[in-house]
Amino acid sequence: MVSTAACCMALTSYSGLCVLRGHCGCDLYPGTCTPDGKMDFGYLGLVSIDASLFYVTSTYLQVLYEVDLNNNMITRIAAGTFATLTSFTGAIDLSVNSITMIEVGAMDHLSRINELYLSDNRLSILPPGTLSAMTSLTLLGLDSNGLASIPSATFARMSALSILNLGGNRLSVLPSGLFAALSSLSILSLNQNAFVALPDLSGCVQLQTLTIWSNAVTSVPSGYFNSVPTLTQLTLSSNRISVIQSGAFDALTRLQSLDLGSNQITVVSSGCFQALTQLTELDLSNNKLLSPIPLGTFSTLNLLTNLNLDNTSLATLPSGLLGSLPSLTILSVDDQAYSGARADVVNRSLNLNRVVTLPDLFGCTLLQTLSSSSNAITSIPSGYFNALPMLTALDLSSNQIAAVQGDAFAALTNLESLNLQSNVLTLIQDGCFDSSANLAILRLSQNKLRTLPRNAFARLTSLTEQVYRLDDEAADRHGLRAAAAASTGTGIAVQPEEGANLRNGHDKRARSAQDDETGNIISEAYGAVVSQETPAIDDAGEDT
């Protein structure tokens, strides 16, 4: 009996036409079966399903690649539900339902399917044998359920399984040897569980990606990764790791990415990462290092491009610590009491620290982006950027820089973006931007500039964004809480303070005049001066 209550509207041939039209309820849900091979029952409010829902012709089964039942209200999978899909080799998506029970035998007819998604349900137990017939699975999603345990033989016949997601459950311990048969497994996710100790990974001889973030793991034992030497990505962030034993990562000679952020690591030993010669990304952020990182800790990481040391309570980085990182492209040491270091890097961020002077960048000939915002830098030394000919983006915003000398950026012929906003600039010397013909973005807002040389921007033919804003003090002093950009009359877009209103509807500078002696343009109302030589800029309300 075909039941309309069970939504048996999938009786379609390859042409997409229902073979039992007039005898079933498929007219209630037109288009559920597409000619290209997808049975789409997602978001239909289904409460239950049975075998009649999946009765299709053998011709259609040959092209069927997915049965989509996601985002319904299904509560259980009964035995025999998929009895008509014994030859189906595609994917079944049962994610985002309310499934609490899978009856024994319910999945026995799905021995040939490749992918099964049971994510975001309410499974608290997985009875032994529930998935034992699914020997062809390459992907299994059991994440975001309430599973507290996994029977020891659950994956015993899944030698083809490549991706397994067990994240978002209540797992604290897994049976020893649970993954022993998973010789093809390449991605394993155990995120957001309750593991205190790292689980047994024996058998996962092809594992490449392992993510165990947001658990309660306390340590990384020496030799733990000996059974998974093929790992290229390892994420252990947001745990309670305080100790990384010597030799813990020695087997991971292929590892490219290691995330140890947001743990309780207090000490990094000098040989901790010595074997990780292929590492390109290392995250140690949000730990509380009680002693400086030893010199030589990164000495073998010649391929490292990204190093994150944010919020690690480091007071200093030993001189030479980063000298062995010739490939480093991003260094971030935000939010700590960092006071300066040699930094032989290619692309780095020193934001939100207490850096008073720019770090030594000797040898960084490949440097492309340098960010050192929100520090206490007071000046840019003459010739500082001479060794950085490839620099394209420079952010020195939110510092204490008062003046920019004429040759400060002379070597930066490839510079495209320069951010000097939120400093205390009162002086920019003539010619300081002359070498930066490729400069497209220039930000000088929220400074104390009252004058600029007439030809300060004359050679910036590529400039597309240039914004000035009043600080609150200047705005109050001049009574101009401007809400929109106002023309200076010199071809420059001037952006007043955001969210302000013009007094008496006046949308131009209160006073501008030419200083005959200096040749400068003066703007008292806007606290910023622009050159008559600069091409017109359309700011378009860019938020700076």
Quickly list DSSP for 154-185: TTTT-TT--EEE--SS------TTTTTT-TT-
C-alpha 364: how far from its chain's center? 26
Please give the average per-residue pLDDT across 456-477, as a whole number: 60
The confidence score (pLDDT) of residue 91 equals: 98
Above 80 in pLDDT, residue 324? no
Report the alpha-carbon distance of residue 227 to residue 255 in Å, rounded. 14
Question: Tens digits of per-residue pLDDT, 197-225?
Answer: 999 999 999 999 999 999 999 999 999 99
Give residue 334's pLDDT band: very low, low, confident or very high (50, 70, 90).
Answer: low
pLDDT digits (tens, 9 = 90+) for 247-285: 899 999 999 999 999 999 999 988 999 999 999 999 999
* pLDDT at residue 374, as a whole number: 74
Q: State residue 367 phi and psi, 5-degree precision.
A: -55, 125
The fold of the 1-122 domain, in CATH, is 3.80.10
Instruction: Specify the pLDDT at position 177.
Output: 97
Confidence category of residue 32, pLDDT binned at 50, 70, 90:
confident
Helices within 444-512 (DSSP H only) = 472-478
Other C-beta atoms lying within 10 Å of the C-beta of residue 213: 19
pLDDT of residue 452: 78
Residue 11 pLDDT greater than 90, yes or no: no
- Give the sign of the dihedral formed by CA 435, CA 441, CA 446, CA 452: positive
Confidence at residue 373, expressed as pLDDT on a 0 to 100 scale: 74
pLDDT single digits (tens) 425-464: 998 888 889 999 999 999 999 999 887 787 888 888 888 8
Residue 538: is its pLDDT beyond 50?
no
Ranges 308-317, 348-357, 446-455, most confident = 446-455
Domain 378-544 has CATH 3.80.10: yes
Distances (CA, A) of 85 to 129, 321, 508: 19, 61, 74
* pLDDT above 70: residue 502: no
The string of pLDDT tens digits covering residues 69-125 is: 999 999 999 999 999 999 999 999 999 999 999 999 999 999 999 999 999 999 999
Q: What is the mean pLDDT of residues 24-53?
A: 78
Is residue 102 within 8 Å of 121, Cβ to Cβ? Answer: no
**Cβ contact 428:449 at 8 Å:** yes
Rounded Cα–Cα distance for residues 473 and 467 (Å): 18
Give the per-residue pLDDT at 536: 32
Percent of the chain clearing pLDDT 70 (strictly above): 73
How many helices (H) and strands (E) in the chain?
2, 31
Mean of pLDDT over the chain: 78
In this prediction, residue 355 has a pLDDT band, given cuts at 50, 70 and 90, of low
Q: What is the mean pLDDT of residues 333-348?
A: 44
Query: What pLDDT sits at residue 241?
Result: 97
Q: What is the pLDDT of residue 93?
A: 99
Closest CA to 468 of 460, 450, 159: 450
- What does the DSSP 8-state code read for residue 244? E
At residue 219, the 3 state secondary structure works out as strand
**Quick check: 148 pLDDT over 60?**
yes
Residue 223 φ then ψ, to 5°: 80, 0
Q: How far is CA 226 from CA 204, 221, 313, in A?
A: 11, 11, 32
Question: Which residues are registered as beta bridge partners of 419?
Answer: 395, 443
Q: What is the mean pLDDT of residues 54-79?
A: 93
- Strands 115-117 vs 91-93: parallel, antiparallel or unpaired: parallel
30 vs 101: which has the higher pLDDT: 101
Tell me what pLDDT residue 358 has.
64
User: Using H for helix, E for strand and C for coil, what is the string for 430-449?
Assistant: CCCCCCCCCCCEEECCCCCC
CATH code that applies to domain 217-368: 3.80.10.10
